[in-house]
């Protein structure tokens, strides 16, 4: 059974006037501060996500270094655009895919320097960097310590989703207990009690329930996060998704003249705020809006330039039918392989919604 027995000594090398005052006032006469950390740390046979949690000063970082070595992630960010901070040997498609999966899927923000990003965005960038390093174990010290607690929970859900999808091993070292049920870890080691709990498959995250409204006047809140355009057609129907009284996603629908299909609509804009990306809200919001039109026997489609999002729709054959890739009709022959598209300028992938959900399924799309 792996154990740790760590004695940490800190020498008081020079007693300044203030140090002497502290020693005198609190009757501390030793020249050495000794900390002792001892316990058992047996990892489960199968795991992807773990948590080491406890109050500050209980030895979390010390224990991690003793057991795993110097594996705590630390990155430098010096480039003018955050995507240039990544290893130059990483292929662009792989980089863009990982950024999208960790919930940092706004290309305009990829062009910003790290220093101007929000704390939530910085956390996603550091996670992407750690994943792309191909290390056996990813350890994050002070996990979510400087992030708003609501954003920390959403970010933790996005983290565990991509870690499990890519079959990585990730350990969050934190003093915050509120993110545990969102990370759904396979084990929890507490430095408050020096006990290990195996929790694989036992923890269920809280429900995320969205309220969706048709409303005008919210585009300004979302426009800068759209990957392609900040403009909005005045005739578009606008919808917002609200979580805990806060609008977090926006969708605009526009009438689309079609020579054979009437009535036909298209998704004009779809945006999820950066702090809420990476957990599937955009896809569920899109399906819900599309189904509103399908319930009325009206057709609706979407065209996107985001390769990762296009692949998500391509895999959702139950709800979306792939129409064509590319900007022009000569690419209509491309049916299932997005990599074979030969567009002019930028790639575009078009889909049409093809299923009407049952009432219960429609309600579940909001959860």
Q: Over the stretch 309-325, which tens digit does the pLDDT of each residue have?
A: 888 899 999 999 999 88
Q: Greater confidence, 132 or 74?
A: 132
Binned at pLDDT 50, 70 and 90, residue 331 comes out as very low
pLDDT of 16 above 50: yes
**Three-class DSSP category at 196:** strand
pLDDT of 186 above 50: yes
- Of the ranges 26-40, 206-220, 326-340, which one carries the lowest mean pLDDT score? 326-340
What pLDDT does residue 133 have?
Answer: 83
Q: Report which listed range, 36-50, 57-71, 161-175, 256-270, is most confident.
A: 161-175
How far apart are alpha carbons 288 and 242 in whole angstroms? 13
What is the model's pTM?
A: 0.81
**Residue written as tokens 């740790």?**
4
What pLDDT does residue 37 have?
Answer: 77
Q: Report, as an integer, the average pLDDT of 75-97.
A: 91
pLDDT of 73 above 70: no
Tens of pLDDT, residues 235-268? 999 999 999 999 999 999 999 877 677 778 999 9
What pLDDT does residue 62 have?
Answer: 87
Strands 3-11 and 32-40: what pairing? antiparallel
- Of the ranges 118-122, 178-182, 352-356, which one carries the lowest mean pLDDT score? 352-356
What are the distances in angstroms from CA 276 to CA 244, 282, 356?
12, 9, 26
Which domains does the chain show, CATH number per domain?
39-198 (3.40.50.300), 211-364 (3.40.630.30)
- Of the ranges 9-23, 74-88, 106-120, 183-197, which one carries the lowest mean pLDDT score? 9-23
Q: Which helix (H) or strand (E) holds 24?
A: helix 17-25
Count, in order, helices (H) and strands (E) of the chain.
11, 14
How far apart are alpha carbons 98 and 106 in whole angstroms? 12
What pLDDT does residue 313 have?
Answer: 92
Binned at pLDDT 50, 70 and 90, residue 175 comes out as very high
Cα 288 from chain centre: 21
Q: How many CB atoms neighbour CB 265 within 10 A?
A: 23
What pLDDT does residue 330 have?
Answer: 41
Binned at pLDDT 50, 70 and 90, residue 300 comes out as very high
Half-sphere exposure of 269 (CA within 13 A, CB side): 30
Tens of pLDDT, residues 110-131? 999 999 998 888 989 988 998 8
How far apart are alpha carbons 276 and 95 in whole angstroms? 20
């Amino acid at each position: 059974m792996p154990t740790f027995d760590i004695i940490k000594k800190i020498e008081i090398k020079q007693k300044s006037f203030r140090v002497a005052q502290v020693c005198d006032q609190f009757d501390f006469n030793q020249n050495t501060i000794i900390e002792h950390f001892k316990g058992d740390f047996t990892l489960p046979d199968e795991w992807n996500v773990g948590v080491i949690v406890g109050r500050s000063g209980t030895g979390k970082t010390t224990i991690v270094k003793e057991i795993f070595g110097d594996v705590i992630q630390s990155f430098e960010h010096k480039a003018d655009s955050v995507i240039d901070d990544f290893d130059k040997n990483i292929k662009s498609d792989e980089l863009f895919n990982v950024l999208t999966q960790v919930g940092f899927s706004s290309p305009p923000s990829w062009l910003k320097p790290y220093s101007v990003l929000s704390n939530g965005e910085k956390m996603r960038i550091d996670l992407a960097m750690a994943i792309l390093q191909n290390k056996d174990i990813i350890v994050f010290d002070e996990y979510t310590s400087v992030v708003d607690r609501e954003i920390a929970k959403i970010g933790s859900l996005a983290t565990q989703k991509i870690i499990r999808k890519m079959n990585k091993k990730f350990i969050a070292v934190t003093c915050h207990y509120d993110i545990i049920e969102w990370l759904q870890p396979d084990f929890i080691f507490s430095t408050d009690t020096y006990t290990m709990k195996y929790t694989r498959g036992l923890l269920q995250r809280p429900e995320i329930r969205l309220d969706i409204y048709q409303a005008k006047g919210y585009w300004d809140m979302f426009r800068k996060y759209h990957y392609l355009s900040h403009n909005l057609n005045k005739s578009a129907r606008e919808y917002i998704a609200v979580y805990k009284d806060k609008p977090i996603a926006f969708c605009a629908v526009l009438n689309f003249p079609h020579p054979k299909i009437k009535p036909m609509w298209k998704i004009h804009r779809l945006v999820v705020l950066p702090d809420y990306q990476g957990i599937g809200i955009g896809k569920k919001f899109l399906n819900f809006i599309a189904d509103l039109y399908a319930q009325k026997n009206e057709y609706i489609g979407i065209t996107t330039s985001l390769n990762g999002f296009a692949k998500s729709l391509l895999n959702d054959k139950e709800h979306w039918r792939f129409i064509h890739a590319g900007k022009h009709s000569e690419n209509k022959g491309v049916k299932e392989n997005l990599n074979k598209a030969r567009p002019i300028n930028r790639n575009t992938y078009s889909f049409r919604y093809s299923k009407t959900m049952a009432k219960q399924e429609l309600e579940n799309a909001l959860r």
